[in-house]
Amino acid sequence: MIKQWALDVLTCPKCSGKLTNVQEGVQCEQCAITYPYQNGILRCVEMDNYAESFGFQWNFFKKTQHDSANEYAHSTRRFKAETGWEENDLSGNIVLDGGCGNGRFTEIALKMGAKVIALDLSNAVETCYSNMSEAGFSDEDFLVVQASFYEMPIKENSLDKAFTLGVLQHTPNPRLSLEKIAALVKHDGDIACWVYEKNWKMWMDYRYYFRTVTKYLSKNANWKLSLFLTHTFFPLAWFLNKYFGFPGKLISRVFLPIAFRRVHSSMGYADSKTWTLLDTFDNLSPRYDLPISEKEMFRWLEASGFTDIVRQNTPGLAVKALKK
Ligand SMILES: [Zn+2]
């Protein structure tokens, strides 16, 4: 049974009819379609899709970036910096995590007292559900949904907040994805987005050269390539980043074809290598990688009825806005 607070904001993605609990899931009173609800997950898409690489990635690196499973608190720092929200801002709110993956930010929002709809297109939703349960959250407070941004089972103008961190650029139409999410937020509610920024600096990043080829490769080929690149270049990257200060970091960033990650001064070699492998695969394998400029983001949010649009002072393009 889907709990009442969630049912109140759900709707049939096909016809916008009212959904009610039935034995196998929820059923639309208008068109009679039943959407299965099993093992804590509401399914509105049937099979794998362009997000397959993310399904693999988030199931493999199940808890790597989860604050509940390490001591770096990196996801909490990112969440606060990119959304501008603090503890009390989310308390009692119904919040969408748009593109939740395996739930690294879902757990932060839950911890801050929100009721969360964690939505993703990939089969990472399964890991998201088990991760939240294992981190001790009750599924009274969250609902995991597998759906596309273009057909979400959520009512327009119904949510207190929505956030989507690192996701829009990986959809086939980032503007439409943003509009669909923006439509779900209620008046006086707010939205927070973090995306890859379109600017001259992106051309210093190896990924956009590699991606001209890798976006056509299979998930398995990209995985093998990411393993090869990480094993080959990580030792040098570690050395440069750890012992050569800013020049070392710059050389590593511009010349080495891996996504070097060391998110905390206490992070050791092995963890740093795992995070680097994760993000190297994350750079090379997505079907879509369409960065967005600040101007575009502001324009799209304005067109969706948002005001008080603010860019956060943090790496990447993080923007927060209020719905009129
Ligand atoms: Zn319907």
Q: What domains sit in the chain, N to C, each tagged with a CATH number?
A: 41-197+292-323 (3.40.50.150), 200-284 (no CATH)
- Given a cut of 90, is residue 189 above it in pLDDT? yes
pLDDT of amino acid 87: 86
Lowest mean pLDDT across 4-13, 43-52, 65-74, 172-181: 43-52
pLDDT of amino acid 304: 97
CA–centroid distance, residue 145 to ligand 1 (Å): 17
CA–centroid distance, residue 27 to ligand 1 (Å): 8
Residue with tokens 């609990």: 21
- Identify the band that residue 48 occupies on the pLDDT scale cut at 50, 70 and 90: low
CA–centroid distance, residue 30 to ligand 1 (Å): 5
By the CB criterion, residues less than 5 angstroms from ion ligand 1 are 12, 14-15, 17, 28, 30-31
CA–centroid distance, residue 31 to ligand 1 (Å): 4
CA–centroid distance, residue 291 to ligand 1 (Å): 34
- Given a cut of 90, is residue 50 above it in pLDDT? no
Closest by CA to 236, choosing from 207, 260, 210, 264, is 260
pTM for the whole structure: 0.95
The three-state (H, E, C) secondary structure of 65-118, written as one string: CCHHHCCCCHHHHHHHHHHCCCHHHHCCCEEEEECCCCCCCHHHHHHCCCEEEE
Helix (H) or strand (E) holding 60: helix 52-60
DSSP codes joined into one string, 152-202 = -SB-TT-EEEEEEES-GGGSS-HHHHHHHHHHHEEEEEEEEEEE-B-SGGG
Mean pLDDT of 45-66: 88
pLDDT of amino acid 49: 79
CA–centroid distance, residue 110 to ligand 1 (Å): 30
Mean pLDDT of 304-317: 97
The whole-angstrom separation of Cα 168 and Cα 251 is 29
Share of the chain above pLDDT 70, in %: 99
Whether 141 contacts 76, CB under 8 Å: no
The mean of the pLDDT values for the chain is 96
Mean pLDDT of 291-302: 98
CA–centroid distance, residue 11 to ligand 1 (Å): 8
pLDDT of amino acid 90: 97
- Given a cut of 70, is residue 20 above it in pLDDT? yes
CA–centroid distance, residue 224 to ligand 1 (Å): 43
Phi, psi of 238 (to 5 degrees): -60, -45
Mean pLDDT of 233-241: 97
pLDDT tens by residue, 165-188: 999 999 999 999 999 999 999 999
Spell out the residues 6+ positions from residue 99 whose beta carbon is closer than 8 angstroms to its own. 119, 120, 121, 149, 164, 165, 166, 167, 168, 170
- Identify the band that residue 160 occupies on the pLDDT scale cut at 50, 70 and 90: very high
Cα atoms in the Cβ-side hemisphere of radius 13 Å centred on 319? 24
